[in-house]
Amino acid sequence: MTRSNKLMLGIIVTILLVSIGGALWYWYKYMPDKTENDLEHKLPAVKIILTNGCGFEGLAKEFSDFLTDKNIDIVAMGNTMRPIYDKTIIVIRKGDDEDFQRLKRMTGISRFTMAKNETALADFEIIIGKDYEQFTKK
């Protein structure tokens, strides 16, 4: 093998190693971590009631579209008696803490209150407030 052939082979090997290293670096740095999402979808869906609390027409349907790719089962939708909610809130009806933490993580909603009701249709209720856009634009 001549000296120029060895040099050319060395350049090609170096380019290949740099390319593979760059591709691996990009993959680990910029590709989304799907393991948490994959694990979430193996768990049972969190059951909720979705309620429009701010009076914007059609908001419950719009918000339900935001929830479609999450592991959330909407068992009922409707409006509150009075459209007075400025802030979106999770109402804990009969759910456990683990499901509550999952729901907070999936939706980004951190405000909550407890209104225990063992006969409720779902474990949780999300009352949509006027701040709904901060949750739907993620």
Relative to beta strand 112-114, strand 89-92 is parallel
**Closest residue by Cα to residue 59 from 49, 51, 67:** 51
Model pLDDT for residues 76-87, shown as the tens digit of each residue: 999 999 999 999
Whether residue 46 contacts residue 106, with contact meaning beta carbons closer than 8 Å, is answered with yes
pTM over 0.85: no
**Closest residue by Cα to residue 18 from 26, 8, 7:** 26
Model pLDDT for residues 114-138, shown as the tens digit of each residue: 999 999 999 999 999 999 999 887 5
**Residue 9: strand, helix, or coil:** helix
Residue 36, φ and ψ in degrees, nearest 5: -65, -45
Model pLDDT for residues 1-51, shown as the tens digit of each residue: 788 888 888 899 899 999 998 888 887 777 665 555 667 778 899 999 999
The answer to whether domain 42-136 has CATH 1.10.10 is no
**Whole-number CA gyration radius for the chain:** 24
What count of other Cβ atoms lies within 10 Å of the Cβ of residue 88?
24
Domain ranges of the chain: 1-31, 42-136
Give me the count of residues in the chain.
Answer: 138
